[in-house]
Amino acid sequence: MKRTMFTGFIATAFVATVILYPGVAASQATLACAQRVDIVAFLGDHLSEKLSAVGKLDPSTIMEIYTAESGNWTLLMSDASGHSCIILSGDKWESIPTLPGPKA
């Protein structure tokens, strides 16, 4: 009897949590997408962010990191057609100098 009551309590608590806090996971999954030129202009004009690093994911997709002296940063993914999405953004960015050594 006690085990059934405990299991019911846990199930009720889980359902209540999902109902009361549905927006947390949904808000984290939302991407801001637009034409690359528009996003880059916004990052520069409103956040003072400039391109700091770029990497190629595949022949038609690149990842770009924009940073500002204030520490703000934005990770942008762009495709060959000029469509881009902001993947992540944050603050307290610190650039680390490249260490000397043999190239891989």
Tens-digit pLDDT profile for residues 24-34: 444 445 678 99
List pLDDT tens digits, range 37-66: 999 999 999 999 999 999 998 899 999 999
Q: What rounded mean pLDDT belongs to the chain?
A: 79
| pLDDT tens digits for range 81-91 | 999 999 988 89
At residue 5, what is the residue type?
A: M
SS3 track for 34-97: EEHHHHHHHHHHHHCCEEEEEEEEECCEEEEEEECCCCCEEEEEEECCCEEEEEEEECCCCCCC
Q: Look up the pTM and report it.
A: 0.66
Residue 49's Cβ-count burial label (10 Å; 0-12, 13-18, 19+) is buried
Which helix (H) or strand (E) covers residue 32, if one does? strand 32-35
Strand 61-67, strand 50-58: pairing: antiparallel
